[in-house]
Amino acid sequence: MKNLIREQPILFSIITLFWLKTLFVGLIDFNIRMENPLQLLIFIISPLPFLLVVLGLIFTCKPWKQFLFTIMLMVITTVILYGNGIYYREFSDYITIPLLLMGNVSDLGSSIFALINWYDFLYILDVPIVLYLLILGLRKKTVFKKHTFGQLRPYFIFVAVIFVLNLGLANIERPLLLTRSFDRALLVKNIGIYHFHVYDATLHANTRAQRVFASEEELAEINGYLEKNIGDATEDLFGIGEGKNVILISAESVQNFVIGNTVNGEEITPFLNELIEDSFYFTEFYHQTAQGKTSDSEFLINNSLFPLARGAVFFTHASNEYYSLPEILGEHHYYTAVLHANNGSFWNRDAMYKQMGYDRFYTEDDYSINKENSIGWGLKDIEFMEQSIEHMVQMPQPFHVKLITLTNHFPFELGEKDKFIKPFDSNSKTLNNYFPAVRYTDEAIKIFFDRLKEEDLYDDSIIVIYGDHYGISSFHNRAMGTYLGKEVTPFIEVQLQQVPLIIHIPGLSGEKNDTVGGQIDLRPTLLHLLGIKAENQVVFGNNLFSQDREDLVILRNGSFITKDYIYTDDLCYSKDEEMKVEKMMCEPYFDEVKNQLEYSDRIIYGDLLRFNDFQKNE
Ligand code: GP9
Ligand code: MN
């Protein structure tokens, strides 16, 4: 080994540079936190096996190829680091293969530019040094010496030992790490970003095979497990909205912390605050989305299944059999439609909506959109609401519509005259602009309510407003901490995943409800209010009005929230004490959390619902 280093000082120096760069990006851009020295050690070792294996392979090449492959390695590692770095800024997550295959990226336009920072040149700070060292090496003919695999055997054994050490230590620190593949933050922290991508590729190959080997028995096993979710005996509010129109408003990126809150002394959501007074408002309701963002929230709400941990199920499994909310409502003589003034194929919606049984999808082609009435991602919410009402008055009743707002989308652009409140003042432009953008959407919803009343649609409707997912990623934690007046710890970060859920039933006064719920629970809740008991459902959520429901919300990354505890980042927190507690307090839920996520995944990967006999309730 020593000899090898003596013979290849330049390539070893370059690999050391790549190693250090990987560690810096991990600490700074991936926001990886260490809880103890062992975690730090694992983190430091984790990029090495990959880098050293590639280096070993490079040693076996001719000198000029050693030169070339080292440059290629530099390019590949930089692309991996920077690609994930940029992605992490908005999504607090890492790139996976299904995500790359979606091709949504070209539609992201202004969002991508907003993620690029001036200091990003630091990502290529090593390039001139590496090039200098490589040219130096080429000049000193003796440096890039070719080695045979035989000569390198001790070297590869050494690398294998480091790899086993990395996995061994990671397993001590986080048992069953590789079976919890949905928690990418833990994976990257423990096996490093490069091995994560290799692992992701193997997962990709595996999941594709699952449909072929799926069987009816699997569904029976899952149904047995889910039995507890069926047969909720709660009578309270059952059928209270029978036969009414059901209007869902998916409020883009609206998080719960804005509700009842102010910025610069001004209310952020004055209309929603007022609406809550005579609605059912769920004070602790979480989004459970992952890489599919809005589409994941739609999937959760329609199917009461978890979205996938990798990629967007709307793209990867749009031809599966489902028994979705619109289909059930259709069986109960509802006309069902989605209204969203964006491209119909974004998130593969056009295909997936058909599969989920919607009668109609009103896309950007159904709206008059021009320069004056659009901003950022497209038609402004107020215009959208006004034009949507025009479509709704034409619909047969009862109808079920979902309106998806757009203006409050990252990077939260807004024209000056649409800023009803002033931005926040912090080092995060994103957070600053978030507040006026939310305020604008609040105004759009107010106008929508006014118009519903004018068109006599209000009294016969149930109106549900929910946030689809977070708007402010953890990249803005420092600014968010300034706004909240407290540090954003992982414990607070989980609570920031709360989104509003407001169920407004005209004529009912409603009340605040502090049950711990998530998007997966909305479908059973709605069916309960509508008095619909569909048979043969395979659902993971439960009625939020139920007296005997278990307060447990499982986030897609395996974090979870109960009445008393929050589990995240492999740590357990007490909600009352607002501090870390022994992990054993959270342990009783581990199996259930793992089972639910795995069963839901098996349903999707295996397309298991094709084996179900859905009883059509015509
Ligand atoms: C796009 C809109 C936004 O049509 O739903 O998608 P998002 O980026 O929030 O998933
Ligand atoms: Mn969204």
517 with 205: CB under 8 angstroms? no
Residue owning the nearest CA to atom 6 of ligand 1 = 294
What single-letter DSSP state applies at residue 402? E
Mean pLDDT of 199-224: 88
Which of 208, 243, 268 terminates a domain? The answer is 208
Return the ligand number nearest the Cα of 91.
Answer: 1
CA distance 316 to 443: 36
Domain co-membership, 433 together with 358: yes
Q: Is 588 helix (H, G, I), strand (E, B) or coil?
A: helix
- Ligand 1 in contact with 293 (CB < 6 A)? yes
Mean pLDDT of 108-113: 68
Tokens of 552: 């447990």
Domain co-membership, 355 together with 444: yes
Residue of 288, 297, 377 to test ligand 1 pocket, by largest number of atoms within 8 Å of CB: 377
Mean pLDDT of 85-108: 81
Domain co-membership, 188 together with 246: no
469 Cα–ligand 2 center, Å: 6
Tell me which residue of 220, 167, 306 sits closest to 593, measured CA to CA.
306
CA distance 428 to 478: 8
- Is 580 inside a domain boundary? no
Lowest pLDDT segment from 264-268, 379-383, 459-463, 545-549: 545-549
- Is 224 inside a domain boundary? no
- Ligand 1 in contact with 556 (CB < 6 A)? no
Residue 130 lies in domain: 2-208
Tokens of 606: 């295996």
CATH code: domain of residue 473: 3.40.720.10
Assess whether pLDDT exceeds 80 at residue 22: yes
- Ligand 1 atom nearest to 108, measured from its CA: 8
Domain co-membership, 276 together with 193: no
311 Cα–ligand 2 center, Å: 15
294 Cα–ligand 1 center, Å: 5
Domain co-membership, 237 together with 145: no
- Is 581 inside a domain boundary? no
Tokens of 65: 């190829």
- Is 534 inside a domain boundary? yes
Domain co-membership, 175 together with 298: no
- Ligand 1 in contact with 287 (CB < 6 A)? no
The structural domain count of the chain equals 2
pLDDT digits (tens, 9 = 90+) for 25-73: 999 999 898 889 999 999 999 999 999 999 999 999 999 999 999 999 9
Mean pLDDT of 450-459: 98
- Residues designated as active site: 294
Mean pLDDT of 362-376: 95
254 Cα–ligand 2 center, Å: 9
18 with 126: CB under 8 angstroms? yes
Tell me which residue of 169, 258, 326 sits closest to 498, measured CA to CA.
258
Going by C-beta distance under 8 Å and a sequence separation of 6 or more, which residues neighbour residue 509?
278
Q: What is the pLDDT of residue 234?
A: 81
Residue of 294, 343, 438, 441 to test ligand 1 pocket, by largest number of atoms within 8 Å of CB: 294
Tell me which residue of 570, 499, 61 sits closest to 283, measured CA to CA.
499
Mean pLDDT of 110-132: 88
Q: What is the pLDDT of residue 617?
A: 47
CA distance 19 to 549: 49
517 Cα distance to chain centroid: 17
- Is 225 inside a domain boundary? no
Strands 560-562 and 565-568: antiparallel
- Ligand 1 in contact with 405 (CB < 6 A)? no
Residue of 347, 441, 473, 519 to test ligand 1 pocket, by largest number of atoms within 8 Å of CB: 347
- Ligand 1 in contact with 409 (CB < 6 A)? yes
**pLDDT-based confidence at residue 336 (cuts at 50, 70, 90):** very high
Q: Which amino acid is at 314?
A: F
Domain co-membership, 389 together with 295: yes
Cα Rg for the chain, rounded, in angstroms?
A: 26
- Ligand 1 in contact with 389 (CB < 6 A)? no
Report the percentage of the chain scoring pLDDT > 90.
81
**Cis ω for the linkage preceding 47 (within 30 of 0):** no
213 Cα–ligand 1 center, Å: 33
**pLDDT-based confidence at residue 427 (cuts at 50, 70, 90):** very high
Q: Is 248 helix (H, G, I), strand (E, B) or coil?
A: strand
Domain co-membership, 38 together with 153: yes
Residue owning the nearest CA to atom 5 of ligand 1 = 294
- Ligand 1 in contact with 403 (CB < 6 A)? no
326 with 302: CB under 8 angstroms? yes
Return the ligand number nearest the Cα of 104.
Answer: 1
- Is 404 inside a domain boundary? yes
377 with 411: CB under 8 angstroms? no
61 Cα–ligand 2 center, Å: 48
Tell me which residue of 412, 409, 407, 406 sits closest to 424, measured CA to CA.
412
- Ligand 1 in contact with 342 (CB < 6 A)? yes
Domain co-membership, 394 together with 510: yes
Looking at every residue in the chain, the average pLDDT score rounds to: 93
Residues with CB in 5 Å of ion ligand 2: 252, 293-294, 468
Q: What is the pLDDT of residue 534?
A: 79
Q: What is the pLDDT of residue 480?
A: 98
- Is 213 inside a domain boundary? no
CA distance 52 to 380: 52
Q: What is the pLDDT of residue 182?
A: 74
222 with 215: CB under 8 angstroms? no
Assess whether pLDDT exceeds 80 at residue 432: yes
What single-letter DSSP state applies at residue 423? P
* C-alpha distance from residue 484 to each of 11, 61, 424, 493 (Å): 48, 56, 12, 12
Query: In this structure, which long-range contacts are made by residues 74-78, counting pairs with CB atoms below 8 Å and at least 24 apart in sequence?
Result: 74/14, 74/18, 74/126, 74/127, 74/130, 77/18, 77/21, 77/22, 77/51, 77/194, 78/123, 78/124, 78/127
Tell me which residue of 571, 542, 428, 442 sits closest to 502, measured CA to CA.
442
DSSP letters along 448-486, please? HHHHHHHTT-STTEEEEEEE-S-SS-GGGHHHHHHHHTS
- Is 119 inside a domain boundary? yes
Structure-token match 């959390």, residue found: 593
pLDDT digits (tens, 9 = 90+) for 463-511: 999 999 999 999 999 999 999 999 999 999 999 999 999 999 999 999 9
Q: What is the pLDDT of residue 379?
A: 97
